[in-house]
Amino acid sequence: MASDTLEELGYDPQLHEGGRLHIHVHKEDLTSALEVVQSHGGQLMEHAPAETVTITNLAYGIDDIPIPAHTVNEDWEDRYRERSSLPRSGEEEAFIPDDGSYDHFDAR
């Protein structure tokens, strides 16, 4: 089944003994090939001289996801940034979501 799906997507899959599937990925999307194979219960067995971790990093580009600091911390409240440590007991009001107006419900 993975072989058929990969062929439909433009890969050139070759079946080998023991249920092994061989594909070459040159200009195709490595990520989609891995996802198709994994969705059918397969796994990456080997790759030319590279290791599995190297292939996975190449496919998903985890190190290539830019997260600029100004977008991560942009929504902090000023008093959060100004704190030197966690509040001590009694320094700040406790957050109580119920103002007491919701003290019952009708059971039907």
HEC states along 26-56?
CCCCHHHHHHHHHHCCCCCCCCCCCCHHHHH
pLDDT band at 34 (very low <50, low <70, confident <90, very high): confident
pLDDT: which is higher, 85 or 1: 1
> What does the radius of gyration of the chain's CA atoms come to, in whole angstroms?
27
Question: What is the rounded average pLDDT for all residues in the chain?
Answer: 72
In 3D space, the residue among 48, 43, 5 whose CA is nearest the CA of residue 24 turns out to be: 48
State pTM to two decimals. Answer: 0.40
**pLDDT score recorded for residue 68:** 64
Taking only the tens place, the pLDDT of each residue in 53-89 is: 676 777 777 677 676 665 566 566 676 666 655 656 5
The 8-class DSSP code of residue 69 comes to H
pLDDT value, residue 71: 59
